[in-house]
A and B are shown apart, each in its own frame.
Chain A
Amino acid sequence: MTPEPLLSVRDLNVSFRTPDGVVHAVIDASFDIRPGEVLAVVGESGSGKSVTALALMQLHPKNTDITGSVTFDGRDVLSMSDDEMRSIRGQDIAMIFQDPMTALNPVFSVGHQIVEVIRLHSSVTKQGAWERAVDLLNLVGVPDPKARATQYPHEYSGGMRQRAMIAMAIANDPKLLIADEPTTALDVTVQAQVMEVLRDVQQETGSAMMLITHDLGVVAGSADRVQVMYGGRVMETGTVDEIFYETSNPYTTALLDSIPDLDGKKEELHPIPGNPPSLLKPPSGCPFRPRCAHAVDACAESVPQLEELVGTHASRCHRVAELYPSSEVMV
């Protein structure tokens, strides 16, 4: 039996009021994350993947309107006061950002910053918290953690900084880790190390993870389930195998066809024509319609629903039954 979801998001809408008009960054997003599960959220810039995470953490800017419901561990996140939210952030839900240099405070030692996170949420002594900080740095593979804890972020390399960020994020054994492009700023050999650390840590602590990325390779190597976003909407969702081997959405198919592979098997790349949609003036109907090779008149008339297919698979496409006959729409 599938356990109760840890995080349950229903009809989440996030929009920004800007001088040019209202930007609908996330539209009707619904998804669950179960305990211990890794959900990868994939999309290009402007697809709404990072905004979704910021809204869950209530870290969005002031000009933001959020509707829908976000239930975390049985509690309604969107109606929480700032104080309640603060007690959850860094404790039950922790976030790892893309750029550790801007996310770490340059004037405090790394150890000090981890101690701060620990002491904010539990009443341990400074001494005890420092020891825990050193243990955490050790856990994420920072060599010589005792000495490294006293150093400042600028004394760390990019990969080490990202490890320090992970140590900080897992300091209070969060139930959910949100990692927003955690390896995008890193070199490929360091990326492999950091992803390994993240996987180990996630398995050791049993926490769930929401992994936001644009890299389909990272998704394939780390995710249990995948959610593909485009133009603020969830286009397809399913297990990692369902998404890669039983792809049932024209956008996901086009995305997979447009990336070169390491084996050199792809003779030619099939780019997706055009540009991602404007969120200020989104196209009518399906957001992918203007770039979709399979678009018909109906696609301009209404936005397709996210239809459930066999298994845990769902796709947002008017022509899903016709284009992907093996996917079987559930009736």
Chain B
Amino acid sequence: MTTSEAVVGASTAMDADVPVLRVRNLVKEFPIRAGVFRRQVGSVKALSDVTLDVYPNETLGIVGESGCGKSTLGRSILRLVEPTSGTVMYGDEDVTTASRRRLRHLRASMQMVFQDPYASLNPRLPIGDTVSEPMRIHGIGKKEARERSGDLLERVGLLAEHGNRYPHEFSGGQRQRIGIARALALRPKLIVLDEPVSALDVSIQAQVLNLLDEIQDEFQLSYMFIAHDLSVVRYTSDRVMVMYLGCVAEIADSTTLYEAPAHPYTHSLLSAVPIADPRRERTRQRILLQGDVPSPANPPSGCRFHPRCPLAQDRCRTETPQLVEISPGHEVACHFPLTEGESLLQRVEAG
């Protein structure tokens, strides 16, 4: 056990109030290049000033529509893309300035599960090797790595002897289990789950969600659960952060966010989700947002949501709202947030 303990050495017992991960003012801009000389002509502001904490053993859900920066956020935290500025602290260590060598060590504690189980597994590698590869890289002996990969495969609901098979022999749900086993291989503390169930059939989604729930308790994991499906996020997350065009719109514990959203965007997002209940669908009053999400290459001035916001005023067009705490743990970036119990529709009708 000596070698394996060395790898997970950093993960001692953690204080529940001390965040595992602290992200401060994270910015990521992708250059837009054009012309023969590929000169930079602009940039896509995928993330602007994102600040968040993830606590031990909690699930922080990240929701938003395409282009809101939720996947870039997950990738920047693990430095799979290099952030432009800001800091990411894992425990006491700054991930953004870590050397390559240090980063490799840090990544043992921070892992990722990807959306597409068809693209994220090496098709020419038996799945047992896929799961044991991270352990081999981190200096665990062949025999032990193989044993542990067998155990992990069994833990995620496959059989140890499946280790000799190739990804194409598995269904989408099984492949996602393999991806989870790989993420668990180095006993991480934090797993970034990027749309882990959205490529799966509904009947299979619940299997994977339940598995994630079980292993969270068992392995004492913190999750960052990135998804566009608001029902799935409510089911899995303790706290939820809503993003819009690279900015944090609102963050709160899951019940507050769903029951008493303060940001008009959160409100309209929830109102757009179809509910599998015909009677409620017939009587529901919907706020339909106009238009599409603008391009992050050319975001609107002021509050980025103002062109689609039914409550927008002059101030929203010029002044960018800051994230303000309106009740303990509930932060919102809006000049005119909704008060508790107030619906967007009432506010719109009241003018």
- The interface of chain A, by Cβ under 8 A from chain B, is 44-45, 143, 157-160, 187-193, 195-196, 214-221, 223, 240-241, 244-245, 254-256, 258-264, 266, 268-273, 275-276, 291
Contact = CB atoms under 8 A, between A and B. Distances in A.
A220 B231 contact: no
Interface in B288-334: 288-289, 291-293
A223 B278 CA distance: 9
Nearest 10 CB-CB pairings of A with B: A217-B274, A271-B206, A260-B235, A192-B272, A187-B65, A272-B203, A221-B281, A216-B276, A271-B207, A44-B201
Interface of B: 65-66, 171, 173-174, 201-207, 209-210, 228, 230-232, 234-235, 254-255, 258, 268-281, 286, 288-289, 291-293
Contact of B228 (A160, A188, A241): A188
B274 A220 contact: yes
A260 B273 CA distance: 12
A258 B205 contact: yes
Given A214-B202, A255-B202, A244 B278 contact: yes
B278 A220 contact: yes
Nearest to A195: B274
B244 to A, nearest CB: 10
A157 B292 contact: yes
Contacts of B206: 258-260, 269-272
Residue among B65, B202, B286 facing the most chain A CB atoms (10 A cut-off): B202
Given A221-B281, A258-B202, A261-B276, 14 more contacts: A45-B201, A159-B292, A195-B274, A196-B286, A216-B202, A220-B280, A221-B274, A245-B278, A260-B231, A260-B232, A264-B254, A264-B255, A272-B207, A275-B174
Contacts of A269: 206, 209-210, 235
B207 A189 contact: no
B326 to A, nearest CB: 21
Contacts of A191: 272, 274
Contacts of A143: 291
A158 B291 CA distance: 11
Given A220-B281, A260-B234, A264-B234, A187 B66 contact: yes
Contact of A275 (B65, B171, B281): B171
Contacts of A196: 286, 288
Contacts, number: 135
B239 to A, nearest CB: 13
A288 to B, nearest CB: 10
B137 to A, nearest CB: 32
Nearest to A243: B278
A131 to B, nearest CB: 25
Contacts of B271: 192
Residue among A44, A187, A268 facing the most chain B CB atoms (10 A cut-off): A187
A245 B179 CA distance: 37
A110 to B, nearest CB: 16
B274 A218 contact: yes
Residue among B206, B230, B268 facing the most chain A CB atoms (10 A cut-off): B206
A122 B204 CA distance: 47
B71 to A, nearest CB: 14
Given A220-B281, A241-B278, A260-B232, A188 B272 contact: yes
Contacts of A264: 234-235, 254-255, 258
Contacts of B291: 143
Contacts of A260: 206, 209, 231-232, 234-235
B256 to A, nearest CB: 11
A199 to B, nearest CB: 11
Contacts of A254: 203
Contacts of B230: 188, 262
B344 to A, nearest CB: 13
Contacts of A216: 202, 276
B273 A262 contact: yes
Contacts of A195: 274
Contacts of B203: 44, 254-255, 258, 271-272, 276, 291
A217 B269 contact: no
A217 B286 CA distance: 14
Given A189-B268, A271-B210, A275-B173, A262 B288 contact: no
Given A160-B292, A262-B231, A271 B204 contact: yes
Nearest to B308: A189
Contact of B277 (A214, A220, A266): A220
A268 B277 CA distance: 18
Contacts of B209: 260, 269, 271
Contacts of B292: 157-160, 187, 190
Contacts of A272: 203-204, 206-207
A159 to B, nearest CB: 5
A182 B293 CA distance: 19
A262 B274 CA distance: 9
